[in-house]
Structure formats: C-alpha cells, structure tokens
Structure 1
C-alpha cells in the first residue's frame, strides 16, 4: 500500500513537472521536447529520487499506437505525393544506410557488441522524430516544402526502422541470420502491415459513415490506432505501418464523413492527447539515462562517452552524406532541391526521439537459448546518447542554422489558405443568388449576407495579392478589435447573470461556447 502511494506521488509529481515545463517553454523560447528531456534528466539526477521503472510493453502498445495514428491522420497526403521520391529515399534508403553504417562502426569500435546486436542498435536509432524540428521550423518560417519532407520522412521511416528492428531482434534471439530469409521477411512484414492498416481503415470508415454521435465518433478515432496496431502485431506484420496506413487513409476520407461538431471536438481532443503523450515520453527519456548509466558501472565513463560520440557522429555524418547524395541525384530518381540550403536544413533536422526510446526499452532480456540479450545495456545507453545528442544538441542549434542559411517562409500556406477562403466565399455568394431567385430569402437578409461575404473576399484577395491593399487590411483589424470588445461585453453580461443565479451553469456554458467560437473566428 505504501509503495502504491509512493508511486502515485511520483507519477503526479512528474505530471506537475511536465505541466510546469510546458508552461515555461514559450518563455524560454526552447522547443518543448528539448526542455522536457533536459528537465527529465535533471529530475533523474536529484538525490533520493526513486528510479522510475518503465514497462516497455506499456510504451510500445499503449503510447505508440495513438501517436503514430494521430501523426499520420493529420499529415497532408498531397505533400506526401508531391515529395514522394525524396521522402522515399530518406525514409527507406537513409534508414537502411544508417542501420548499416551504425552497425559497422558499433561492431568495430564498441566492445561487447556482436554483429546482430550492432544491427539492432542501427535499426533503433535510424528513425527520426520530427516534433522538435517542425516546431522550430514553423516558428522561424522555414519553407513549407522542407517541413513537409521532414514530417513525411519521419512518418514513413518509423515503419521502416521498426521492421528492420524486428528482423534484427529475431536474428539475435534465434541466434542465426540468413540474408535471403531476412529480406523476404522485411518485404512481407512491411506489405502485411500496410494491408492490415488499409483494411482497418476501410472498416472504420464504413462504421463512422453510419454514426451520428460526436462522443462515439471521437472515441472511435482515438481507438483506431489500436484497432490497426494489435491485429498486425498478432499476425506478425508491421504494427507501426498498420497504424500509419490507417491514419493516412482515414485522414483523407474522414472530412467527408463527419459534421462540424465532430471535427471541432476531435481536433481539440487529439491536440491534447498528442501533446501529453509526447511530453511524457520526452521526460521519460531524460529520466532513464541515469538508470542506464548505472547499469554500465563496470565500463569507465570516458569509454562510454567515446562510444556515444562515435555512434552519434556516425548517425549525423551518414545523414549528411545521404541527403546531399539525394539532392544531387538525377531528376528521375528524386526532385532536386532549389538550393543547398534546404539540404543542410534537412541534414541537421534528423533528430531522434520517442520511437527510438520505445524500441530500445522493448528489447527482450533473454535469447531463445536462455542467455542474456547480448549488449542490451550498451544498446540502451547508446540509444539514449543518440537521442540526447541529436535532440538537444541539434535541436538547440537548429534556430541558429536556419538563420545562417537565410531560410524564409515562402508564403505558400498563407496563399493557399486565402485561395481556399476566397473560393468558399464565392461559392456561398453563388448559392445565395440561387436562393434569391427561388424567393427562398428576403431581400434585406440577402443584402446583409452579400455584404459580409464580399467583405470577406476583399479581405482575402488583399492577402492573396501580397497585401497591396492596406486599407482593406486596416479595416479588417478595426473590425476585429471592435468585435472583440463587443464579445467581451456579451461575455461579462452573461457571466453576471450566472453569478446572480439568474441562469444555470448549463446555459452559461452553451452561450459562452458560441461566443468563444466567434472569438476564435476573428483570428482567421
């Protein structure tokens, strides 16, 4: 009982620490994944702090499915298609190159790692984590194409890396290796995972097509990652690619299946779920490093640091070499970058994170023969070292690299958004004229609606035309300030009724929700 209370206190303390660090991140202007890792490391070094024992299966089967599915669901399929060759070469070719490069260096220079164990290490550190890189890139205005490549690469290479990881671990556990068998297993595992994911996506699509219940639909959305992950794992194919495939499939079709209430609730819930799960994982990365180092007490710290530098350096050098090879490849292999600056950014944005952590912690303790998994503690340490070097080292210096390279926002997102809103407003005006001809609406009401939509189209035309019409933008800002003042007055009045007991809390929340939604629209 005492142990349960202590564990509960530790868990609540960690959640409180996560909340505090998330609040501090914008003030310190440090991407939250980096601050969380450093915070977790600091907490782990506090004297008397109890070791946080992680259940690898909880991370692998409990945390990864919604994270992978959510990332895939909100990924732009158009961007994946537009950059498919570059993403493919990075997500498949670079993962294999990194696995081989790390395996060769680790087996050659790290004492105690067999070839099979070295390949396991290479597979673990081959997938990238885009969270820190994209957070920095979007804040500093990196061209959308580069951000899309980083996100797309990470999404696909998660599956590639874990398929290689699965094959390598099986080779270690079984104690044998066959290139032909391994290659065939790789193809079957990957293709099977994609097939399971698409099948689950199709079934969920049919179910949601028949539903009209927002809480049920959002709940199904949260569980879909598990629906794809577990069947794939049970039949021995790539569960990661299953979750990713289901996410991409449903991300494309779901907008046609859901209403406004489901979309608003779903996006809000998913933002919180992804934010919290990622935050906890990054804190756990920092917390586990002291535990892993203690397990390697028989190896001098200087030697451990040299191993860490060697493997981390290999990961970074291989990425630079591969990225520059890709951008200089013939056009039929990959679309060339407009400049070498984009290649430098992509090379420096290859950070490792949650997936590598989960894969390392999920390593089995024993082989089929009953002996210990060879080099397990070393693999864990080197994985954490690569995560720290790439996430913290490269993450903290990435803003400097972006500024030195002179990368700037190309305005693509803003132009496309303005174009979409103009098209939507024009469609509304066209439909309004049809309704007027059918005597469906009164003339005075129609005129008010015309004025609203024309103002909206004028405003976004000004943005689309690079903001040449300053008068329209100034008029828009005046309208926003005035409308917010009026909304605040409405809110205060309704809040006064609630305090006086004139209206119930249910009424207050319904009215406040409408006012809040209108307030949010003013930022558009």
Structure 2
C-alpha cells in the first residue's frame, strides 16, 4: 500500500506539472512574456512552499532530457543554412565556449580566495553554452530575421559538446596534476570527431529502416528512439553524445522529405512538438526549484568571496560575448559567413551593429548549465560555491535577457522581411504545381491504357486553378512596397469561403454519425481529410 501511495503522489505531481506548464503557456501567449522565464519564476515560488522539491539529477537530465530536446531542435534546423554559416557558428559554439571557460577559470584562480584553475574552468565550461530555447521562442515571436535565427540555432546545437568535453577534462584535473588547455583542446577534437562519426552512423542506419518508416506508428517509434541510440552509441566509445545526437538530427531532418511518407512526417512532427513542449516546461520548472538547495550550503563562505565569485561568473558571461562578436566582425570579410552568403551569389558580409547587439543579448543559459555543474563530485573544492555561481548566471540570463530580448529586438527594428518569405514560398509552390502540370503532359503522351484522358484533364483543371491563385498572390507581393505580406480582399474572402465550406462539411458528417449513418471510424477518416484541407487553406 505504501508503494501504491507513493505512485499516486508521483502521478499527482505529474498532473500538476502539466497543468502549470499549460497555464503558463496560456499566460505567455496572452502577455507576450517568454514561457521559459515564467516557468522558472513559478519554480522558484514553488521551491519555497511547504513540501519537497524535485532534486536535479544530472545524469538523468543529460541522458534522458537533453538528447530528445537537442534532436528535435536539430530536426527543425537547416543543415544547409548552418553549413553556409559554419565559420561564425564554430566561432560561437566552439571558440567562444573555450574562451569563456578560460576567462572564468583564470578569474577564479586570481581573485577568488582558495579557488583552483581547474575548478574555475569547470564552472566556466558549465556556464559557457547558451540555451537557445528561450531566445528562439521570443525571437520568432518578435519576427527576428532568419539569419540570426540560424546563428542562434547553430550555436545552441553545437556548443554543448564543447562545454561538456572541457568540463570532463577539468573534473579529471581537479585532483590531478592540474588543468592543461592543450590537453583540453586535443580531447575536445577527438571527442567531437567521434561524435560526428557516431551521428552519421545512426543517421544512415535510420535511413536503412525507411521501409518500416512508411508506417506512421513505426516511424514515430524509430524517431523517438533515435536520439537515445545516437547518444548511447557515442558515450559507449567515450566521444561526444550530444554532438552525435545533433549530427543525426541534422542529417535525418535534411533527408526526411525523401525518405519518409507524408503521413509519417505529419504524425512525427506532432509527436515531437508535444515531447518538446512537455520536456521544456519540466526543465524550466526544475531550474527554479534548485534555488533553496544551492543557497543552503553557502554559510561557510564569506560574503566578499561569494560576491567576487558571482561577479566573475556573471561578468565573464555578459561581457565576453558582445566583445567576442564585435572583434570577430572586424575580421576580413572572407572570415564571415551569413545566411545565403554562398548560395545566392552575394558576397559574405559581417553582421551589422543591430544584429551584433541582438545576438549579444541572445545568450540565455539553461538546464544544461545546472546539470553540468551538478555532475561535480562532492570532494571537488568549492563545489557549493560553483553551483551557486552557475545558478545565478542561469537566473540572470534567463530572466534578465529572456524578459528583455523581445523589447530589445523591437527597439532595434530587426524584423524578418515577411514579404520576401511569402514570395519565396509562393514561387516554390508555383514551380511545384507547374512541374505537376508538365508531368500530366508526359503521362498523356505516354498513353497509359489504364489512365483516362478525363482523369488527366480533371487534375489539370485543379492544378491550373491553384497555379493561378499562387501567381495572383505573387503579383500582389511584387506590387507591394512594404515588408509585410499584402492583404488582398479577394484572397481573404476566398479563405473565409473555404473555411465556411469545410465547417459545413464537418457539421454534416457529425449529423450523419449521430444519426447512425456513419461509423465513428469512418468519421475520423473523413475528418482527417477535412483537417488537411483546412491546414492547406491556412497556409496558402
């Protein structure tokens, strides 16, 4: 009975957690405040209420939570865009992480009484990698330009591997002969190379299962297992598990249009959105709940020591990033890479001042910083102080930068050109429909006995109507001088009519079901058809 009661308590906590995550998302959508910051505040409030808090288990977080979050982020990223911006992505995700770890380590060694270089580097490695979740969520809502979105995504996907490798070297050095930067860099290179190989192996192993992935349920199962397979394979040979997950996700996401069915992609995408939503919500609630634990163990330190340690940590994180971006943008143009820089014939160019400011403020830290610093074993000198410093950095960036990032983006006037995005998509739609019409001509010339001319002409008529709609939309966009997508009264009226027609069909199907003329299974099949039609209408 005691075990059953314990399970009931766990179930109740899970239900409350989900309710809080959903409610916080609703508040976020209504107020425009980032849900990550709101959830962290809720976690802090909960931490001081009567009752037990959930302790942060670093092994659990790094093994079961981080891989699926990174994998889903990689699936939604662009392998081509990251490749076009590879130099600046590597600058932020590798070199800047190394520089941050070094700066914090040296600062601790020089100014914090009794602190060792290895302990300082361990802290620096933990707090160096930004968590892009909050910045991306706010940036997309604020209309951040696509090139900055790509840089934030690319940095967030790759920087964890750098940080965790440097952290492992620092931990090994705490009780050893001391920390060596050349050894750390060499170990990172080996770990990164092995992680890339492991990710490629898993990605191509998944491709071999494409026959199984034609079934949506099997595709979902394989997709959910993939990040854990990549992580475990890499960790089993002592290379970067997080990098293996990222590489596998980028390759699979890039190849998904060719190696999976439409039904599988729709269902898999929906499943990953749900997983991402729940895990992210849980993670940020968990961050807030750690405050009492990290504060309780500070009584043995003098106030001046705590202030100096926190100042070194926060100062290095907040000041080094903008300094790094400014310096790297002063390098020769051939050292820069920017979205579209190598794919459309334009010369590579540095980020402008507004973009540098926005990117400097997109450095929110998250749960991986806490999970990393919590991996320090208890005999590490100043472990409690290091954990407190990491927690303060996470709070300062997550709340300070997270809550002010959207106003900053709006103040800078950085907005994606929605008209250009709409033009690109409608041009691609027009090209795809024209290719379909050309294929109909080929089918007719091939004279298939089992295909009637009437079927070909019927399909041609549907495609022609769609092509004319896309071209009218393009004409409207071309005539507009605004960065916003122009609104056509005729186009909006057509959308209203299509929605009304779909609603009427749905209501009639429900009447048939309620009257016993249609089974529930039949209703679900026909509803899916209308759902896809409605989704197409919303995106056209």
1:391 is matched with: 398
1:110 is matched with: 112
Q: 1:435 to 1:35 in 2, by over 3 A?
A: same
Q: d(CA) in 2 for partners of 1:98 and 1:178?
A: 15
**What is the DSSP-based 3-state SS (H/G/I as helix, E as strand, rest coil) of the residue aligned with 1:52?**
coil
In 1, are the aligned partners of 2:329 and 2:351 still within 8 Å (CA)? no
Q: 1:49 to 1:190 in 2, by over 3 A?
A: same
Asked if 1:98 is matched to 2:111, the reply is no
How far 1:441 sits from its partner (Å)? 2.9
2:502 is matched with: 487
Asked if 1:441 is matched to 2:459, the reply is no
Q: 1:505 to 1:175 in 2, by over 3 A?
A: farther
In 2, are the aligned partners of 1:311 and 1:386 still within 8 Å (CA)? yes
How far 1:308 sits from its partner (Å)? 2.8
In 2, are the aligned partners of 1:205 and 1:254 still within 8 Å (CA)? no
Q: 1:51 to 1:477 in 2, by over 3 A?
A: same
Which sits farther off after the overlay, 318-327 or 190-199? Answer: 190-199
Equivalent runs, 1:330-369 vs 2, <5 Å: 330-335=332-337, 336-365=349-378
Asked if 1:40 is matched to 2:53, the reply is no
Equivalent runs, 1:42-57 vs 2, <5 Å: 42-46=45-49, 48-57=50-59
Equivalent runs, 1:164-243 vs 2, <5 Å: 164-172=166-174, 174=176, 176-209=178-211, 211-243=213-245
Q: Deviations over 1:364-395 (max 9, x none)?
A: 33xxxxxx122222222111111111111011
Q: d(CA) in 1 for partners of 2:530 and 2:145?
A: 35
Q: 1:468 to 1:317 in 2, by over 3 A?
A: closer
In 2, are the aligned partners of 1:228 and 1:239 still within 8 Å (CA)? yes
**What is the DSSP-based 3-state SS (H/G/I as helix, E as strand, rest coil) of the residue aligned with 2:15?**
helix
Q: Which of 17, 24, 29 is 2:27 aligned to?
A: 24
Q: 1:288 to 1:441 in 2, by over 3 A?
A: farther
**What is the DSSP-based 3-state SS (H/G/I as helix, E as strand, rest coil) of the residue aligned with 2:56?**
coil
How far 1:237 sits from its partner (Å)? 0.9
Q: Which of 409, 420, 426 is 2:416 aligned to?
A: 409
Q: Which of 331, 336, 350 is 1:329 aligned to?
A: 331
Q: 1:419 to 1:471 in 2, by over 3 A?
A: closer
How far 1:503 sits from its partner (Å)? 2.7
2:133 is matched with: 131
Which sits farther off after the overlay, 53-62 or 143-152? Answer: 53-62
1:465 is matched with: 478
How far 1:283 sits from its partner (Å)? 0.9
2:466 is matched with: 453
Q: Deviations over 1:421-448 (max 9, x none)?
A: 1211211222233334447431752553
How far 1:55 sits from its partner (Å)? 2.4
In 2, are the aligned partners of 1:150 and 1:349 still within 8 Å (CA)? yes
Ranges in structure 1 where 5+ consecutive residues have no aligned partner: 366-371
How far 1:347 sits from its partner (Å)? 0.6
Q: d(CA) in 1 for partners of 2:236 and 2:309?
A: 36
How far 1:301 sits from its partner (Å)? 6.5
2:295 is matched with: 293
Q: Which of 508, 512, 536 is 1:497 aligned to?
A: 512
Asked if 1:381 is matched to 2:400, the reply is no
Q: Deviations over 1:470-493 (max 9, x none)?
A: 999332211110111111111112
Q: Which of 430, 437, 457 is 2:438 aligned to?
A: 430
Q: d(CA) in 2 for partners of 1:12 and 1:363?
A: 32
In 1, are the aligned partners of 2:477 and 2:486 still within 8 Å (CA)? no
Q: 1:354 to 1:415 in 2, by over 3 A?
A: farther
How far 1:341 sits from its partner (Å)? 0.9
2:340 is matched with: none
**What is the DSSP-based 3-state SS (H/G/I as helix, E as strand, rest coil) of the residue aligned with 2:381?**
coil
Asked if 1:14 is matched to 2:17, the reply is yes
How far 1:344 sits from its partner (Å)? 0.7
Q: 1:454 to 1:421 in 2, by over 3 A?
A: closer
Q: d(CA) in 2 for partners of 1:406 and 1:382?
A: 34
Which sits farther off after the overlay, 167-176 or 353-362? Answer: 167-176
Q: d(CA) in 2 for partners of 1:512 and 1:410?
A: 35
How far 1:108 sits from its partner (Å)? 2.9
1:78 is matched with: 80
Q: d(CA) in 2 for partners of 1:178 and 1:153?
A: 25
In 2, are the aligned partners of 1:415 and 1:463 still within 8 Å (CA)? no
Asked if 1:517 is matched to 2:532, the reply is yes
How far 1:174 sits from its partner (Å)? 4.4
Q: d(CA) in 1 for partners of 2:381 and 2:517?
A: 71
Asked if 1:61 is matched to 2:63, the reply is yes
2:342 is matched with: none
In 2, are the aligned partners of 1:337 and 1:343 still within 8 Å (CA)? no
How far 1:274 sits from its partner (Å)? 1.2
In 2, are the aligned partners of 1:418 and 1:463 still within 8 Å (CA)? no
Q: d(CA) in 2 for partners of 1:325 and 1:405?
A: 21
Q: d(CA) in 2 for partners of 1:175 and 1:288?
A: 32
What RMSD in Å do the two structures reach over aligned CA positions? Answer: 2.4
Which sits farther off after the overlay, 123-132 or 54-63? Answer: 54-63
In 2, are the aligned partners of 1:37 and 1:285 still within 8 Å (CA)? yes
Q: 1:189 to 1:476 in 2, by over 3 A?
A: same
> Structure 1-normalised TM-score?
0.92
In 1, are the aligned partners of 2:363 and 2:397 still within 8 Å (CA)? yes
How far 1:521 sits from its partner (Å)? 0.9
2:318 is matched with: 316
